Structure 1
Amino acid sequence: MPSTTYEVAHIREQGQDMIIIPVSSSLSNMSNTKQNELRDSLQLYARDAGLAGEVCLVWETGNRFYFIAPNLWHPFFKGMSMNFVARNINKKLTCKS
């Protein structure tokens, strides 16, 4: 059974549990529907793994930082970088297909 493992930054910020998952820049080429399907799927895997919080996807294309996160968290994510995410990686999430 093939599986995919993601490095995860599981942090608590502003009283919220955030599951920040760096993903491939190819996410930029996906439709919003496909992006949300991936996020929803990873949310289920995170819940099954016992990780509390909302899954947020982050990626870079060129020099630009992109994210999918709840609207209320956008100000926090707009100040984020992949360096911040990399410094906060503290878990692995394995998804078996």
Structure 2
Amino acid sequence: MAKYQIAHVRQSGQDMIIFPLTSSFGSQSNTSQQEIMDSLQQAAWGADLAGHVAVIWQSGNRVHFRAPTAWHSFFRSPGIWEWVMTNINKELTI
């Protein structure tokens, strides 16, 4: 079982379940990334967390993310990594 520290937040009227992941996520294929996100989404819903999953990771000095299109401007905000880490408020074991 893996434990994830997540930020379950409401931002701009949207419930977000944000998973900060390691940089190795970025080296996965798009298909593999989507499968991981689907698993995280199912686990979050299974834990009765409202909202949709987004993932965020750092690679070097850059921050990357996968999230619903409507959230892209939010995730492109300066300091987003620090904001997410400051807003960690739940632990999810999968």
The reply to whether TM is greater than 0.5 is yes
Correspondent of 2:49 among 48, 51, 68? 51
Map 1:50-89; keep pairs closer than 5 Å.
50-79=48-77, 80-89=79-88
Supply the distance in 1 between the matched residues of 2:70 and 2:49 (Cα, whole angstroms): 20
2:85 maps to amino acid: A
Query: Structure 2 length normalisation: TM-score?
Result: 0.96
Structure 1 runs not aligned, ≥5 long: none
State the SS of the aligned residue for 2:48: coil
Task: Report the alpha carbon displacement of residue 91 of structure 1 after superposing the two structures with TM.
Answer: 0.3
Other-structure match for 1:41: 39
Identity of aligned residues (%): 49
Task: Report the alpha carbon displacement of residue 81 of structure 1 after superposing the two structures with TM.
Answer: 2.2
State the SS of the aligned residue for 2:2: strand
Stretches (4+) displaced over 6 A: none
* Cα RMSD for the two superposed structures: 0.7
Supply the distance in 1 between the matched residues of 2:56 and 2:24 (Cα, whole angstroms): 11
Query: Structure 1 length normalisation: TM-score?
Result: 0.93
Supply the distance in 2 between the matched residues of 1:75 and 1:29 (Cα, whole angstroms): 23
Supply the distance in 2 between the matched residues of 1:87 and 1:64 (Cα, whole angstroms): 18
State the SS of the aligned residue for 2:91: strand
State the SS of the aligned residue for 2:37: helix
